[in-house]
Structure 1
Amino acid sequence: MAFLNRSIASVYLAYALQSTAQAITWQFVTYFVKHELNAISFLEQSIAFALPAIVVMVMTNFWGSLSDRWHKRKIFMIIGFSGYASMFLFYAFVENIVQYLIVAAIGALFYSAALPMGQAHLTTNVKNKGERLGYFVAAQSGGWFIGALFSGVFYDIIGMRVLFIIAALLSVAAITSTIFLIRDIPFNVFQIVKKGSIRTILRKPGMTRLTGAVLASQIGISTISAFLAIMIVDELLGTTAYVGYANSGATFIALIITGYVGKIVDKKGPVKVLIIAYFSYTIFALLFGIVTDPIIATIMWALPIYPLSSTATSALAAMISDEDERGRAMSLVYGAQNAGIWIGPLIGGILAEYTFFRVQPLSFVNMAFNLIALLLVYSLLRNYGKQKDNSLGSDKKPEALSNNELDGE
């Protein structure tokens, strides 16, 4: 089984630790800057949430291209985790929104290297890409569950600044495990490495529509998720613990089902799974916009839709790209996600500040953007709707793979 392989289990461990650190912090970004840094404007809050994603969108393709050129993944994981560790540490000492933004931007310059390298590393020289990526999301979900629940319960007890320091220590643990446990896997050593830009990858059949769907869906989700704590606590009169329960609930269920989701992606194909995911997001957004009870809102947010979209997106990007360009392909998808993460909160901040005067109606914006994503992915059925036996297979010829490269698969 994929998760029992020591060479990749070490990757799951590192990203589980890092995901725990992230979950401790990200769910309270806008709430923290509103209540502890006195940024009362929805627009200011949205900028605090969006700025790191803008930096990541720009930098992630740089790191992906550099990784493909060097044929290395591990060093970029270390760079990424180091960016997280330093950023969380300095967050604990910021005194105003300007300082927060400076720390966020510098940290994002480096942590943008982390996620695409883990995904690219796991899909090197293997056939069961969907299964590996499914367990990868499961490992992240385990971290998100622990981190979201921990910070939700302890926010009012120990405060966000102490939580930032705990997140920094977890990032240091991810760095340590990466240094001592993860080893790079050789790839494309028997082939001439293809030279190509991000535009070359975008010209591959389906890649532009996949990237567009990821962008649209993430814009919609981020429009409301950036203000989730404010909606549940300030508008629906729940508590900060409800925010932790909402995010940890979703990740706990994802932890259980995501490995199975990866197998479904391998068997049925990523496009069909993405259609289900974006349709589910659309219906969810409609209902979330009219809920009035904080407990019901918490339960609704805990619905585990993201394992479907995350696993299928990465698997489809791996299917479309060749092995020597996979770092760039994963970085392209990651860049689209982060474009959505900064565009969505800015849209949400502007609409909440000048049109709705509250954040819950932003869920209808989420619905509209996920409907667009659904239509884009549906158009891919003709190209990738029928799963072939080798469609998610290794990009190298069997005779070119050694036992070491197969990693026990």
Structure 2
Amino acid sequence: MELWKRNLMVCWFGMFVTGIGMSQIAPILPLYIKHLGVGNTNSITQLSGIAFGITYVISAIFSPIWGQAADRYGRKPMLLRASLGMAIIVGLMGFAPNVYVLIGLRLLQGAITGYSTACTTLIATQTEEAHAGYALGTLSTANIAGSLLGPTIGGFISDYVGFKSVFFITGTLLFIAFITTLFFVKESFNPKDKKALSIKEVWNSVPEKGLTITMFVTFLILTVALYTVEPIITVYISELSKNTTHIALLAGITFSASGLANIIAAPRLGKLSDKIGAHKVILVALIAAGIIFIPQAFVKNPWQLMILRFLFGLTAAGLIPSVNILVKKMTPSSLTGRVFGFTTAAGYLGAFAGAVLGGQIAAWFSFKYVFFITSALLFINAVLVYFKVYKKLNLN
């Protein structure tokens, strides 16, 4: 088996598990915060957004740092550091005595992360141009599917085993990712080939600055769209559902509908990006995603919401791999890790902004406005991509 294919398999598993580790808390978070002593509904919603989002804003700060470290010292050491660190921290969340300790551990989790940045860089630099769309599309399914299937796993475990078991089981899976990475990921890396460049020097070496910034913005808005619903889904499902015995599980399935769609569609849309151009796929996917968000505000039961979340997952599957393909093509190979670090940072900022924004909009206005505002952001991004990316690349 070719080296990039073997590493792709191992990285897929590792990114899937770390995605679960980042997101499994989503459907149980309001319930867990209530269990830890918070009684007011508005306080639970707001604290859920902060506890969920704090991991991502800290990750945004550290992702470029870990990206630079990956370019200097190798991608495999970064994979080992992130997977082992997350295994320990997620396991400790099961022992949190109050919501503030939980938020502190979520903050530490953000600081230690970096698995997806190192994996994306490793696969992007090892894969030949003709297969880049397929490889990065397949890899993107791991991250987003882990992030969106994680809530179902968390909801199922919490319903049948208990809140604390979610963290213990996820920590064990992360440790397994550490072991598989240690023994099966192979990398030929010579640190002498890499210079320690400042952020300014890295940016000056990027040839297509305007397009790169647009890709950062697109990645940020996409993750805002993915995560605005994170802090509200459980409460929204409880309002929609007449059966209140399995709220966490129903919320988890609703989250995971997007992840399932992503697994199905992302490799295919990655190949399509290789054939017709990633810029075309991005534009169509943004418009479709903006449309699909609107009817989510008017659903009458959880199953309607699940179907719409599945359709949204199909559109999201065309965005992440296409953004990565364009970033890879625009970036010199010596800077790939650092530029992907900035891309990942934009995604983490979007996840934080989305989680906090969704929680605050729901608390101050209503659930419907979460979907309307997210739809508007996607349409604005589509306009930006049309003028800054689509028209420019279509002329070339």
Q: Match for residue 77 of structure 1?
A: 79
Q: Match for residue 180 of structure 2?
A: 177
The 1:372/1:30 distance shift into structure 2, 3 A limit, reads farther
Tell whether the 8 Å contact from 2:6 to 2:185 is kept in structure 1 after alignment: no
Name the structure where helix makes up a greater proportion of residues.
2
Q: What is the distance in 2 between the residues matched to 1:361 and 1:142?
A: 26
Unaligned runs of 5+ in 2: none
Tell whether the 8 Å contact from 1:187 to 1:323 is kept in structure 2 after alignment: no
Report the Cα offset of residue 133 of structure 1: 0.7
1:25-40 aligned within 5 A: 25-34=25-34, 36-38=36-38, 40=41
Q: Match for residue 381 of structure 2?
A: 373
Q: Which amino acid aligns with 1:219?
A: V
Tell whether the 8 Å contact from 1:223 to 1:346 is kept in structure 2 after alignment: yes
1:100-119 aligned within 5 A: 100-111=102-113, 113-119=114-120
Q: Match for residue 99 of structure 2?
A: 97
Q: Match for residue 396 of structure 1?
A: none
Q: Match for residue 301 of structure 1?
A: 309
Q: What is the distance in 2 between the residues matched to 1:142 and 1:9?
A: 15
Q: Match for residue 267 of structure 2?
A: 259
1:240-319 aligned within 5 A: 240-303=248-311, 304=313, 305-319=315-329
The 1:27/1:137 distance shift into structure 2, 3 A limit, reads farther
TM-score (norm 2): 0.87
- Say which is worse superposed, 145-154 or 228-237, in terms of deviation: 145-154
Tell whether the 8 Å contact from 1:8 to 1:122 is kept in structure 2 after alignment: yes
SS of structure 2 residue aligned to 1:361: helix
Q: What is the distance in 2 between the residues matched to 1:263 and 1:2?
A: 19
Q: Which amino acid aligns with 1:50?
A: G
Report the aligned-residue RMSD: 2.7
Confirm whether residue 206 of structure 1 aligns to residue 211 of structure 2.
Answer: yes
Report the Cα offset of residue 67 of structure 1: 1.7
Q: What is the distance in 1 between the residues matched to 2:292 and 2:195?
A: 44
Q: Match for residue 332 of structure 2?
A: 322
Q: Match for residue 86 of structure 1?
A: 88
Report the Cα offset of residue 37 of structure 1: 4.6
The 1:323/1:188 distance shift into structure 2, 3 A limit, reads farther
Q: What is the distance in 2 between the residues matched to 1:151 and 1:44?
A: 19
Q: What is the distance in 2 between the residues matched to 1:104 and 1:185?
A: 33
Report the Cα offset of residue 147 of structure 1: 4.0
Q: What is the distance in 1 between the residues matched to 2:8 and 2:358?
A: 38
Tell whether the 8 Å contact from 2:67 to 2:118 is kept in structure 1 after alignment: yes
Tell whether the 8 Å contact from 1:137 to 1:311 is kept in structure 2 after alignment: yes
Q: What is the distance in 2 between the residues matched to 1:244 and 1:3?
A: 35
Tell whether the 8 Å contact from 2:149 to 2:255 is kept in structure 1 after alignment: no
Q: Which amino acid aligns with 1:83?
A: G
Report the Cα offset of residue 264 of structure 1: 0.7
Q: Match for residue 124 of structure 1?
A: 125
The 1:93/1:286 distance shift into structure 2, 3 A limit, reads same
Q: Which amino acid aligns with 2:185?
A: I
The 1:318/1:188 distance shift into structure 2, 3 A limit, reads farther
Q: What is the distance in 1 between the residues matched to 2:2 and 2:304?
A: 36
The 1:202/1:218 distance shift into structure 2, 3 A limit, reads farther
Confirm whether residue 382 of structure 1 aligns to residue 391 of structure 2.
Answer: yes
Q: Which amino acid aligns with 2:57?
A: I
Report the Cα offset of residue 148 of structure 1: 4.0
